[in-house]
A and B are shown apart, each in its own frame.
Chain A
Amino acid sequence: MTGPLLDWLDSRTGYRALVRRALDEELPGGTGWPFTTGSVVTLLVGCQFITGVGLTMYYVPAPSLAYDSVRFIMRDLPLGWILRGLHYWGASFLVVATVVHLLRVFLLGSYKAPREVTWLSGLAMLLVILGFSLSGYLLPWDQKAYWATTVTINIARSTPLLGSYVADVLRGGPELGALTLGRWYSAHVFLLPATLVTLIVAHIALMRKHGISGPIEPAAAPGEAFFPWHVMRDTVMMAAVFASLFTVAALVPAHLDAIANPSDANYIPRPEWYFLSLFQLLKYFPGPLEPVATMVVPGVVIGFLILLPFVDRADGRHPFRAPRRVFTTMVVAIGLGVLALTGLGVADSPPDDGDDWGLLPIAGWQIATDEASPCTRCHAPGAPAAPLAQTRITRDEEWLLSHMADPVALAPGVRSEQEPAPRPMMSRFKAQAVVSYLRREHAGRAHPVIDEAGKTAALTYAETCVACHKLGGEGGTMGPDLTHVGTRRKAAGIKAVIEDAPEMYGETAMPRFKDRLTPAQIDALANYLAARK
């Protein structure tokens, strides 16, 4: 039935001749599986484009909403988690696939004359893809995004002569903020895709102009048609890669840190793994030597790759025989260097304790969601404010703390000193606990399972101990950090200190809590802390 319609379409457009021209290409005999790497890259680029379009419908490129829009995609949007998962993991797959393609082209000597420009367009695409990765992970505006971008821009500052101008242009202003996010977003969704499409078209046109380079030793076998014989190999590889990508995206949720917090000194920034080698390299070139790591080493590697087809001019494509042996050694050295640095970077990474619910957030959780909680009076469905689990954190910590003390004030914290403030609705310690809880709730951390003793310990800690003792990165600094106190003391010892520190230590700032806390509170605290290894 569609036959006559297609005939008509063909008579008006000539599309069949076009399709035939695209598919009917004779490949050199022996062209096999190694020549499917380019198709895999094309598939992954296509996936990134399609999933990217889906994401832009919900993503908002403004610091006040970027994080929440990503959180909305991950938590509330049906299929949003897998949509972002495919895009997030697709980026890593794409970097790997591009490097594999580059290595294949290198090993088989496919870049040699007359294919120098094809090689150069491929290198340009690799840089564009790295640009995608770099700009892409700023967009969620989480801690990783904020700090990794801060570091990136400061690296750009080390460019000789123009450094500070380059940094200002990348930032779009004196500080990292809305202007930065806007331009990186624009680059990520318009500039880089347009560049990449242009380069892909050029790359494929050049590949068709010179034909596939084929096996190193031309096979005696006669050539075969691209379609369907080689397309079948491409298709099998694409299906395998797509199935792997889908599996990873379905099993491992895409990463989202807590919202960017410029005042957080506890966060240790880490780049994505594909920039980890550069990040690690920086550690070995401190101070005035820094440009060696930021400019010289990457510059030498890229320069070497650019010059390769112009230097490697002698006949012979075998990677392990003269004259190419020397280049292969260099590429292997670069590859081992990148792998070693990445490995060292991974080994140096601090353990991810982002999921850890310390006593402070647990206490905040109790305080905020308790039946008697002052929060739920307004933060409820149909009430003046959205429920806490949905609330966006658009204000800084000082504002939140003031709001909890004086919830009806429109601009908490601006009351003049002469004016008597109302009695706080919630003590500052409790409010701090609630803020700590909200940050975890907001970052989508799963709620921990807490028994009654745990609740008692949490509330006691949040009302008493937090003033002087840190636990899991939060709390005062007067007394020792209790995060790993379980490695130093047993429950009985901790209990003795809580009950009567002056008795144990003599001169100490820690008061005696024997009469201020109930035995149940002291036991709960001692047991909880003893388990902190």
Chain B
Amino acid sequence: MKPNCKCASEPRRGFLIRVIQTVHAGIGATLAFVVGGAVIAPSFSRREKLWLPAGTMPQLAEGVPTAVTLRIARSDGASETVDRRVVYLVKTGGALQALDSTCTHLGCRTRFNPDSKLIECPCHGGVYDTNGNVVSGPPPSPLARVPVRVEHDRILVEV
């Protein structure tokens, strides 16, 4: 027999249990909101895009992707980190395009092979042409285009 002498008041007991559950759930939910929110929030923050200089037009050879390393200083939690992004600048005719060098398969860094005139990924054999289109291998999509503009022969890319 339970050591309970208020057994007669079963409805009251049920009510109390619901109140207890609600209050504890409320405290737990408040803590979960604050701690969970603070833990999750930075995951969804995005850096503002910046236009960074990436050399000048006369430096580029016709039809040959030129890899340019961009340094992006950004605040990283409490500290600062310099990200290095490599983009290919490709001049064909008068047109200029900038391609992100990150392989669209699993994110490895591709490199331009001057012998085959193709952009190759060292990880799983993805191959792209100089316009970034997939020639062979597993990449699901062409290399990402990076917005680019030219001001008085100075090349600016948006990263």
Chain A residues packing against B (C-beta within 8 Å):
24-26, 43, 47, 50-51, 53-54, 57-58, 60, 65, 68-69, 71-73, 76-80, 82-83, 86, 222-225, 228-229, 231-232, 235-236, 238-239, 242, 246, 381-386, 390, 392
Contacts and interface: CB of A to CB of B under 8 A. Distances in A.
Contacts of B6: 224-225, 229
Contact of A57 (B2, B31, B39, B52): B39
Given A58-B77, A78-B41, A86 B3 contact: no
Interface size class of B (residues with CB under 8 A): 35 or more
Given A57-B39, A77-B42, A86-B34, A68 B78 contact: yes
Contacts of B13: 228
B20 A235 contact: yes
Contacts, number: 108
B30 A77 contact: no
Interface of B: 2-6, 13, 16-17, 19-20, 23-24, 26-27, 30-31, 33-35, 37-39, 41-42, 48, 50-52, 72-73, 75, 77-80
Nearest to A66: B78
B24 A26 contact: no
Nearest to A385: B73
Contacts of B26: 239
Contacts of A51: 31, 34-35
A392 B79 contact: yes
A79 B20 contact: no
Contacts of A381: 48, 50
29 contacts: A24-B3, A43-B27, A50-B35, A51-B31, A51-B34, A53-B35, A60-B79, A65-B79, A69-B77, A72-B77, A72-B78, A78-B41, A79-B41, A82-B34, A86-B31, A224-B3, A224-B5, A225-B2, A229-B16, A232-B16, A236-B23, A242-B30, A246-B30, A382-B50, A385-B73, A386-B73, A386-B75, A386-B80, A390-B75
Contacts of B80: 386, 390, 392
Nearest to B18: A228
B20 A232 contact: yes
Contacts of B52: 382
Task: Identify whether the interface residues of B are mostly helix, strand, loop, or mixed.
Answer: helix
Contact of A54 (B30, B39, B79): B39
B27 A225 contact: no
Contacts of A232: 16, 19-20
B3 A77 contact: no
Nearest to A225: B4
A160 B13 CA distance: 59
A72 B33 CA distance: 19
B38 A54 contact: yes
B113 to A, nearest CB: 32
A83 B34 contact: yes
A86 B34 CA distance: 9
6 A-B pairs with the lowest CB-CB distances in the bound complex, closest first? A26-B3, A78-B41, A69-B78, A54-B35, A72-B78, A225-B4
Contacts of A384: 73
A381 B50 CA distance: 8
Contacts of B24: 235, 238
B3 A79 contact: no
A68 B80 CA distance: 11
Nearest to A27: B3
Nearest to A85: B34
Nearest to B44: A78
B29 to A, nearest CB: 11
A60 B73 CA distance: 20
A115 to B, nearest CB: 21
A50 to B, nearest CB: 5
B20 A231 contact: yes
Contacts of A80: 38
A68 B20 contact: no
B56 to A, nearest CB: 19
A386 B79 CA distance: 10
A239 B42 contact: no
Contact of A223 (B5, B34, B51, B78): B5
Contacts of A72: 77-78
Contacts of B5: 222-224
Given A53-B35, A246-B30, A382-B50, A224 B42 contact: no
A381 B159 CA distance: 13
Given A57-B38, A76-B75, 19 more contacts: A24-B3, A50-B35, A51-B31, A71-B78, A77-B38, A78-B37, A83-B34, A225-B6, A229-B6, A232-B16, A235-B19, A235-B20, A238-B23, A246-B30, A381-B48, A382-B50, A384-B73, A385-B73, A386-B75
Given A51-B34, A79-B41, A83-B35, A239 B73 contact: no
A261 B81 CA distance: 25
A61 to B, nearest CB: 12
A238 B73 contact: no
